[in-house]
Amino acid sequence: MFATYTAKYTKITTGYMGQLVEWPEIVTEGRDIEDCRDMLRDALNEMILAYQHQGKEIPLTFEAENRA
């Protein structure tokens, strides 16, 4: 299953802060947009592993729900 999540970026003094809209607990920072995007991807992977370990339901996007 592939899902697409919405990233929200905010310019901060040290670079960019990124957050995934569907996963509000995933917030990270990067030197630039590309670095922040990579950090979000890593944070998402870790959060998915944590959710699986805890038996929590992984949030799906509208696109992923329509494919199921």
- Over residues 49-64, the pLDDT tens digits come to 999 999 998 877 655 4
7-16 — which CB contacts under 8 Å span 24+ positions?
7/37, 7/40, 9/33, 9/36
- Look at the block and give the residue holding tokens 């995933």: 26
Amino acid identity for residue 27 in this structure: V
Domain ranges of the chain: 7-67
pLDDT per residue over 16-27, tens digit each? Answer: 999 999 888 999
Per DSSP, helices labelled H in the chain are: 33-54, 62-67
pLDDT per residue over 30-53, tens digit each? Answer: 999 999 999 999 999 999 999 999
- Does the pTM exceed 0.75? yes
CA distance 19 to 43: 10
Q: What is the DSSP code (8-state) at residue 14?
A: T
